[in-house]
Amino acid sequence: MITTKKIVVGPMEANCFIVRDEATGRCAMIDPGAMNDALRDAIEEAGVDKFDYILLTHCHFDHVGAVSRVKELIDAPVAIHKDDAPGLRDPYVNLSGPLGGCKTIYPEADIRFTDGQTFHVGETVFTVLHTPGHTAGSCCYRAEGVIFAGDTLFYESVGRTDFPGGSLRLMRQSLNRLLGLEGDYLVYTGHYQHTTLSHERECNPYIG
Ligand SMILES: [Zn+2]
């Protein structure tokens, strides 16, 4: 069983998550976009020595901005899809230049993965779904009835496809892949409120 804590971080109000495997207390952090008091408190509460991975859904500054500061606290490896790994080093691709107001080169990821990669956190398994469209290496993480979708899927919407590496054609394919998964999932999105696959199958205007 997992419990998920959402922390809204940074001026873009990105959703950062701390996911805890209840059986063991081991944790993963997803998308530390910026540091704030709430995130610092949540890390303390989880335990600085409890983190196994920092999992990134994509390379944009509002999702990766606090990687260095978080790593100083929890010393866990950072993982990103291989197609978004170069963007961490490119302020044009990670949007820290165009949108963030401060061109930033982020640290190299420790782990560069491809579709289907799994991450074990205690007894919980996170499985990567490569869902390009918002960026070339955008990914969702699936675990126990929950999907962490980054900026691929939003409540009745999808992420923008006009940034470097974006593609509306690939976004539609990725959306179809997600909505075609068997059964229902709670979906924690990279911004705004959460949703479910069943709701998006009914209401998402980008299907097709
Ligand atoms: Zn993004």
Checking if the pLDDT of 38 tops 90, the result is yes
106 part of a folded domain: no
208 part of a folded domain: no
What integer pLDDT is reported at residue 36 of this predicted model? 98
Ligand 1 center to 62 CA (angstroms): 7
Q: What is the CA radius of gyration of the chain?
A: 16
For the full predicted model, state whether its pTM sits above 0.85.
yes
User: 37, 19, 36: which is closest to 28 by C-alpha?
Assistant: 19
> Cβ–Cβ contacts within 10 Å for residue 41, how many?
11
What integer pLDDT is reported at residue 60 of this predicted model? 98
137 part of a folded domain: yes
37 part of a folded domain: yes
Ligand 1 center to 190 CA (angstroms): 8
105 part of a folded domain: no
59 part of a folded domain: yes
Q: Which domain holds residue 186?
A: 2-100+111-203
Structural element, H or E, at residue 103: none
Contact 85, 60 (CB under 8 A): no
Q: What is the pLDDT of residues 162-207, one digit of tens each?
A: 999 999 999 999 999 999 999 999 999 999 999 999 999 999 999 8
47 part of a folded domain: yes
Beta strand segments in 33-88, E = 51-55, 78-81
Q: What is the pLDDT of residues 57-109, one digit of tens each?
A: 999 999 999 999 999 999 999 999 999 999 999 999 999 999 999 999 999 99
DSSP string, 128-190: EEE-TTSSTT-EEEEETTEEEEETSEETTEE----STT--HHHHHHHHHHHHTSSS--EEEES
Average pLDDT, the chain: 97
Ligand 1 center to 47 CA (angstroms): 28
20 part of a folded domain: yes
What integer pLDDT is reported at residue 208 of this predicted model? 72
Residue 75 to residue 73: CA distance in whole angstroms: 6
Residue 112 to residue 66: CA distance in whole angstroms: 19
Looking at the structure of the chain, the number of domains it has is 1
The mean per-residue pLDDT over the stretch 99-126 comes to 97
Contact 69, 44 (CB under 8 A): no
What integer pLDDT is reported at residue 207 of this predicted model? 87
Structural element, H or E, at residue 201: helix 197-203
What integer pLDDT is reported at residue 5 of this predicted model? 98
- Ligand 1 (ion): residues with CB under 5 Å are 60, 151
| Local structure of 52: helix, strand or coil | strand
Contact 160, 62 (CB under 8 A): no
Ligand 1 center to 112 CA (angstroms): 18
CATH number at residue 166: 3.60.15.10
Ligand 1 center to 153 CA (angstroms): 11
